[in-house]
Structure 1
Amino acid sequence: MDTRPMSATREEHDALGTLTLSDALDFGIQTARARENFPVSRTTIADIPGFVRSIAQIKKAAAIANRQIGVLPVEMAQAIVAAADEIIAHQKAEAFPVDIYHGGGGTSANMNLNEVVGIRANEILTGKKGSDIVHPNTHVNMGQSTNDVIPAAMKMTAYGLLASLEHALTEFVALLAGKEQEFAAVVKLGRTCLQDALPITLGQQFSGYREGLQRQLGELARVREMCVLLPLAATAVGTEFGTFPGYKSAVYSALGSITGVTYAPEPNFFDGLQNADIWLSVSGALKAVGLLLNKFCADLRLMSSGPRAGLAEITLPAVQPGSSIMPGKINPVMPEMVMQIYFRVLGNDVAVTRACEGELDLNVWESLILNCISESATLLTAALPLLGEKCVRGIRADVQRCARDAEHSLALSTVLATLFDYERASAVAQRAAAEGKTIEAVVVESGIMSAADARRYLDPAVLTSPEKFRALFDAKMG
């Protein structure tokens, strides 16, 4: 139990001067300045899932590496490792108050961790907070620079976020595959340009949704693997100045042991610090997932529209009343939630694109990139199970409505164009439209086909199966 009086303070100094800080604070003078300078968004580095943890893992790995190569005393290294382990195990949000929108290419974030780790390491060694023994810059930041620590931590953070999204998307794709099978025999009207087209099955339509998202699983895995190459050990501008012999190999070995992930140095550190195009790929993958979900959800809204005066092909589960004034109204709220998330992901992608431009020897807009990538990945990961359980799993098809619409489609005249010619098919379609009749009725009345042939060749279910209609048409042509 901490028995120090609440009024206890300590003096800290940096290149700009001295500040008096409450001894209750876990951070130091540079973090205090950053907290005063950037109270912008109320989103702190602690709010980015895994970011503080990733920096703490780097600090731990660096301490282990510097101890192994003999440039950091054993007791000091052990104290830094212990302090970092506390953060890794339990992150105290109040210890990391730096706003994510801060200037300096992430210096405030890096120093926040350096100070918290250093102050705690001092406390472990001496029983009091401060930097008398372990200095945040000299010891905790040994062999490092903000310029290599922050982009490395960003990639580590993204690696975890993308893994979580992959897991959520994998489960969602499996759910879509189940609905694909459930709806395999539900024949419905296809639509192109929002107009009636040839029939398909609802299962075939869902197979398109499933395949698109399944393809994005591969893309997420691809960009996640890009995140294992780190600029760590590049230090300030890519020259590795400030590191000691053996540090680079030792720090990557330690980081792998700590995280269970085989991270490796980027082949060109100058590229790693200057260029941020990897984030275009990561953001692009997130945007693609969001885009396909947006298309799916927009289609769900259309297919469930009505129910009296819309398409009404499917019914979505009712999860809440849809109007404060119209009793009985139910809205597609889960798809609408996901569509709004896509709009946000799209906006984040624009911000990431601009932030990736950078200049000269460092991209300094990494805090914004991280915030956007994190928000997009987190929103999509949270949305997928909600959409799955509260909407997709409970979708029901109106089999009779779907069949009736398919049977009345004028696009069935395409069969006549295939069997006979386009002009005859067009005439039949025009007559059917003018008289409000089905294509089948008109071809029988016109003597183009017998009633039996019309039923056989104009059966919407046959037209959804390449094997069935090819066999039927080959027999006719033969």
Structure 2
Amino acid sequence: MRVEKDFLGEMEISSNVYYGIQTMRSIENFPISGRSIESYPYLITSLAYIKKAAALSNFELGGLTASVKDAIVMAVDEIIDGKFKSQFPVDIYQGGGGLSTNMNMNEVIANRANELLTGKKGYTHVHPNIHVNMSQSTNDVLPSAMGMSLFYHIGDLISCLTQFKETLHQKEEEFQLVVKVSRTCLQDALPITFGQQFSAYRSFISRQINELNRLQEDCLQLVIGATAVGTGLGSPVGYVDVMYLHLSEVSGLNVAKVDNYFDGLQHTDGYVRISGCLKGLCTGLSKMASDIRLLASGPLAGLGEIEIPSVQPGSSIMPGKINPCIPEMMMQVCFDIYGMDQTISIAADRGELELNIWEAIIMKNLFDQFSLLTASIPIFQEKCVSGILVKKEINQHRAESSFALSVVISNLFGYEIANEVVAEAQKRKQTIKHIVVERGLLSAEEAEKSLNPINLTNRE
């Protein structure tokens, strides 16, 4: 064991761990979810980049000796390489505006840096607050690390959606001439093709990718350098300029200072916009999954117009039953994300005065949204959408039999005549085409051309 002390007193810490007394207090205070900040590797990496850039900046400005700077940089590089994955145990639910997260990182770096310099853990040469946290505050470190993390998360989601869009485009091409009855208000409407239906899905995903690209650019507008409240107090003159140069170099990201530090610390509407974009994405993903679920319903008593891959038995009591479990999984992910978005909105709303201190819960829910989406969309794509088959004969028959074809008769002969044709077709259980030929409104050849469903799907 080793002994560490802070403002509140002393505590024995296991000699096997690199975190220290403030991390231990957090472990004791917040045994909430059983999930630690290690669940978010992008956050750990981003925090490490910030600490490395700060060490380089503080050395350049005379605040750190070369040996301390080198030890901090070496410790950070090890963290970035994943060497200390078990050393970030603070719970994702924590009070104090994310202080526990920042100090967990500071303590691990300080203990490892001391070990590199002296062979022992401790703070004789490198202190977590004095040296590792020099020129920083949790208030500017955590949101800056969140912004960088979100940049990575958005990139992952864009890559995921780009692949999904390609699958949808393939289905659009595959089904471009396969006609079906459309539905409005869940009732038969005019014919379209399955290709047109999938073109809507593909266009929707393209639009979400474009929006995510715009949001990703804003993620790298950081508040690092603001310190506690936006004044920069606690950092030396010139720190901001060199910090952003070093942070860009060590991270490879084009980071930049926000226009107004006070705004950046107080307002979290950027997180709300990102969450809102993910919520909007989910509305389309959930609708797509719901559409597929409806069209595949049956096989005898449902719509039964498409087949989706069978991935597991669907009943513990009814042999042979297959459920649309992949679309149902996708829909439940979306339901969960709607709830997370509400949490983020409330947390953004509750910022007070000079700081929004609720970034821990915002971070947790935003990162979880991305994790859920990047995990579920490829499964939805690979185990459902890519394997969809259309029952062409059933769809062709229904399209030819639809009373919605009466729109053509209305255009040719007027609404009242069309009403009469539909009423007679419904009464006699005949098609619109049969009635108009029998009445002599159109010849068989004319009816075949004018009422062919595929000819009605593109009027350009």
TM-score (normalised: structure 2): 0.99
Alignment of 1:121-160 (within 5 A): 121-160=113-152
Match of 1:275 in 2: 267
Counterpart residue type for residue 453 of structure 1: E
3-state SS of paired residue (1:239): coil
3-state SS of paired residue (1:318): coil
Which among 379, 393, 398 is matched to residue 386 of structure 2?
393
Which among 319, 331, 338 is matched to residue 323 of structure 2?
331
Alignment of 1:44-59 (within 5 A): 44-59=36-51
3-state SS of paired residue (1:50): helix
Counterpart residue type for residue 401 of structure 1: I
Alpha-carbon contact 2:78-2:84 (below 8 Å) kept: no
Percent of pairs identical after alignment? 50
Match of 2:296 in 1: 304
C-alpha displacement at 1:91, in angstroms? Answer: 4.9
- 1:282-333 CA-partner distances (Å, limit 9, x unpaired): 1011111111110100000011111112111110011111111111111111
C-alpha displacement at 1:70, in angstroms? Answer: 1.5
2-structure distance, mates of 1:95, 1:110: 13
Counterpart residue type for residue 254 of structure 1: H
Match of 1:472 in 2: none
Alpha-carbon contact 1:53-1:91 (below 8 Å) kept: no
Alpha-carbon contact 2:226-2:261 (below 8 Å) kept: yes
1-structure distance, mates of 2:85, 2:74: 18
Deviates more, 1:297-306 or 1:91-100: 91-100
Alignment of 1:98-247 (within 5 A): 98-247=90-239
3-state SS of paired residue (1:97): coil
Match of 2:437 in 1: 444
Counterpart residue type for residue 398 of structure 1: K
Alignment of 1:330-349 (within 5 A): 330-349=322-341
Gaps of 5+ in 2: none
Which among 419, 422, 432 is matched to residue 412 of structure 2?
419
Alpha-carbon contact 1:315-1:396 (below 8 Å) kept: yes
Alpha-carbon contact 2:4-2:12 (below 8 Å) kept: yes
Alpha-carbon contact 1:275-1:363 (below 8 Å) kept: yes
Match of 1:289 in 2: 281
C-alpha displacement at 1:417, in angstroms? Answer: 1.1
1-structure distance, mates of 2:60, 2:413: 83
Gaps of 5+ in 1: 1-8, 468-478
Match of 1:435 in 2: 428
C-alpha displacement at 1:47, in angstroms? Answer: 0.5
Alpha-carbon contact 1:49-1:374 (below 8 Å) kept: no
Counterpart residue type for residue 353 of structure 1: S
- 1:94-133 CA-partner distances (Å, limit 9, x unpaired): 2111101100000010000000001110111111001111
Q: Does 1:71 align with 2:63?
A: yes
3-state SS of paired residue (2:427): helix
Query: RMSD value over aligned CA atoms?
Result: 0.9
Deviation above 2 Å: which 4+ runs of structure 1? 91-94
Structure 1 pair 91/424, CA: closer, same or farther in 2 (3 Å)? farther
3-state SS of paired residue (1:466): coil
Q: Does 1:39 align with 2:34?
A: no
Match of 1:471 in 2: none
Match of 1:87 in 2: 79
C-alpha displacement at 1:235, in angstroms? Answer: 0.2
Deviates more, 1:431-440 or 1:126-135: 431-440
3-state SS of paired residue (2:41): coil
1-structure distance, mates of 2:215, 2:347: 18
Deviates more, 1:271-280 or 1:284-293: 284-293
Alignment of 1:353-432 (within 5 A): 353-357=345-349, 358-432=351-425
Alpha-carbon contact 1:200-1:463 (below 8 Å) kept: yes
- 1:51-96 CA-partner distances (Å, limit 9, x unpaired): 1111111000100111111211111001001111111111533211
1-structure distance, mates of 2:397, 2:302: 14
Alpha-carbon contact 1:26-1:95 (below 8 Å) kept: yes
2-structure distance, mates of 1:173, 1:94: 37
- 1:321-368 CA-partner distances (Å, limit 9, x unpaired): 111111111111111111000001111000000011111111011010
2-structure distance, mates of 1:367, 1:430: 63
Match of 2:450 in 1: 457
2-structure distance, mates of 1:246, 1:430: 83
Counterpart residue type for residue 141 of structure 2: V
Alpha-carbon contact 2:309-2:383 (below 8 Å) kept: yes
2-structure distance, mates of 1:128, 1:158: 36
3-state SS of paired residue (2:86): helix
1-structure distance, mates of 2:233, 2:419: 77
1-structure distance, mates of 2:426, 2:348: 55
Q: Does 1:254 align with 2:246?
A: yes
C-alpha displacement at 1:427, in angstroms? Answer: 1.6
Counterpart residue type for residue 110 of structure 1: N
3-state SS of paired residue (2:332): helix
Counterpart residue type for residue 363 of structure 2: L
- 1:249-280 CA-partner distances (Å, limit 9, x unpaired): 11111111111111001010000000000011
3-state SS of paired residue (1:128): coil
Alpha-carbon contact 2:18-2:111 (below 8 Å) kept: yes
Deviates more, 1:447-456 or 1:156-165: 447-456
Counterpart residue type for residue 164 of structure 2: F
Alpha-carbon contact 1:179-1:203 (below 8 Å) kept: yes
TM-score (normalised: structure 1): 0.95
C-alpha displacement at 1:389, in angstroms? Answer: 1.1
Match of 1:265 in 2: 257
Counterpart residue type for residue 334 of structure 1: I
3-state SS of paired residue (1:197): strand
Alpha-carbon contact 2:144-2:224 (below 8 Å) kept: yes
2-structure distance, mates of 1:378, 1:92: 22
